Chains A and B, each alone.
Chain A
Amino acid sequence: MSTNEMTGAEIFVKSLIEENVEYIFGYPGGAVIGVYDAMHDMSHIKHILTRHEQGAVHAAEGYAKATGKVGVVVVTSGPGATNTVTGIADAHMDSVPLVVFTGQVSTNLIGNDAFQEADIIGITRSITKHNFLVKDVKQLAWTIKAAFHIASTGRPGPVVVDMPKDVMASKAAFLYPKEVKLRGYHPFYFGHMGQINKAVEIINASRKPVLYVGGGVINSNASAELYNLAKKLNAPVAMTLMGLGAYPGDDKLSMGMLGMHGTWYSNIAVDQCDCLIAIGSRFDDRVTGNPAMFSPNSKKIHIDIDPSAISKNVKVDVPIVGDVRHVLERLTPLVNTLDTKEWLEQIEDWKAEHPLRYENGSEIRAQFVIEKIYEMTNGNAVITTDVGQNQMWAAQFYKFLNPRSNITSGGLGTMGFSFPAAMGAAFGVKDRPVFSINGDGGIQMNIQEMATAVSNKLPLKIVILNNGYLGMVRQWQDLFYKKRYSHVTLGNNPDFVKLAEAFGGAGFITDKTEEVVPTLKEAMKINDRPVIIDFRTIKEDNVFPMIPGGGTVAQIIDYPKSVKELQMAKVHSEAVK
């Protein structure tokens, strides 16, 4: 026996150090007690004890999205592992690099319905990029290397590593591989030059181009390259929910978000353009509505690292499989500066005729709160949002100026995401304020993480847009189900100020528009603990513009100017249904 031998648990810690892991978000339990014993002495890596495994995964996602690094989670077997499922599915949909280590019962017990046993490999097979069961301690270091490699390269995604208790207790020599070779995994980065040339030809013939930009631009750190392309082409930029921040939201060429609750003008521009350049976006149904009618007059170019994203929902003319940054680096020098003067003037007119708007009054409007947060943070905050109306208003009214600033659950639409994700982001980003935007529904889904945030003195600003409803469902019931508000009233909301204080945080509450800014100012002075700010907003307000699900731009409902117009909008949406 060589003296270099160590236990699986020790190999695990050494391997994470080799991967330069800074934080582990986790929760101990019986099957990982040996692993936690080895983690007791580690100094290079900080373990963050969350209060629920779901919180740990969302925190790791927030960390990964804010920093671009791999988020790491450690949980125990059985319920510990199954509690990670929502977060893993979320990361899979939104291409977030995670490695989730789950404990497992000893190999001799697997399949015996042992205490705290769950077949997490089977359960997570369809929601991970890949997963591994480590059956031999000699394979452990290689597996960890492979897991980080798979999670962080190509189209990023979550990888689960299942670690049986006896494997982690047995010994092997530690040698961390410099690289792993997987014969079935070769992400293609560079883009086919022939395809790039075809794209250039289409782009150079265009007079009405639109860049349709998604989260892939952020994942490949290609914001600068995107900016160069947009400026060279003089092409307006429409961003998906995940793409917000890829292009500065305050720039003249930005049209903000497109899709179901996107700006009126971005959707019209996509409909009328003659060349649609999709970059790191995937023609999701929330963007396209009816895919057969999506951008019907354009030649379509699609740049994406995932071949299966191409022509999945909408047929494109020129697919380019490759990493966005590499492709743009080679494409931009080849395109001409386009004469888009008329097109941009047309878009400016549309922006003036159909701006994002809301009616302000003495009762607080959620849109106003978001706008003020934007102004008071100079567009420089990291914003995490939950799912529903709060998410859409944040996407519309916070003009994200930088990539990795908008952290949201786009694909899976996970309520309870915002707050734990904000914690993770705050560990990764120290020099910018972190705001978590929530509804009064979603905040209660992972509120237990207040204890984690207080323990770690995280200066989070947790904004609750509190209207006493599950607002987005109520909106659909209002527009499409004859206002039959079935089970969307949150009757017994807690006193969020007392709740914040009970956890050891700070709490503020207001229901007056004029107090929004002073309250935010007070809250932003507190930097040694999390602050909950309970904004009691107008109870019934809807997110507009809106294209009903599966609809087309012809059915777009802009923000109603008056009660009468609102009624018209409802009649209209009834007709669409």
Chain B
Amino acid sequence: MDLINRYAHEVGQYLPHRMRADVEAELRSLLTDSVEERARAEGVPAGDELAAKVLREFGTPKDVAARYAPEPQYLIGPRLYPAYRTAVRIMLPVLAAVVLVLVVVGQFRHPGEPPSVVPFIRATGSFLWSALVNLGIMTLVFALVERSMRRSEANGKAWDPSSLPQVDDPDRISYFGRIFSLYIIAALALLFNFFPDWVAVYVFRNSDGNVYPLLTPAFSRYLPLINTWWLLAFVLNLAVLRQGRWTRPTRWADFGLEVGWASILLLIVLGPPVFRYDDLTKVIAQWFLIFSAINACVLLYRLLRRRPAEPWARA
């Protein structure tokens, strides 16, 4: 029966590859039995008309597949979707603002030329391209977190009420902040490893645009070190998300990473220029270094400080 074959195949399209052939074969067998039995009972031919009736009762292929599916078939579930939507709502205007600033700067660099729409058309193209790339990275990061959290829950122990966070809990994590960090790490790693030429100053003019790459060849010396740092930071963020809160080991790891980042910045400040416009970038790197050192101190303080006693204990 052609209709049953088509139906079973369609159900299979919504299922994971590993179970597809098996479920399709079983459905074909079951539905054929069902149609033949119904034909005998009703005294009508077991044709496509009767098959259509049986299939209508059986349900739409999508519904049937959902009942067979071993786990939820979505990339980003209801728990993370609000954070994903917020992240996209932040990312798109920020990108648009960056592109707009670049266009305006480009116009100011060539004040003699008459105003033109060409830079804005180019800027719109840049914005759309960047938006698509960033949306892809962000979706991948959220999907990875969703999968990781689902697995962690599947393997987890029974829920323990004593694991509930305190009302003012310093170890509580911000899911949005952690996931946003993952996105930033993934985006930077992709940019600096595969598209280093995009790290540039773009100057749009009437008929064409000029691109001035910012990175010098010396940057590649630091890239393995920075990649290692990114990888460790990615793993740490994922581990913190899976645990759902900061623990002592993850806080120590965070402190270690901050010290590592400060050391990398120090190497960059002391070493050969990694960016063109060396004077300016070294000043910026120094500021980053100072910020990183302060952050490391804050993390160490949080690790070592004693929690204030509860009111009844003080009394």
Q: Are A and B a genuine interacting pair, yes or no?
A: no
Interface residues of B (CB under 8 A from A): none
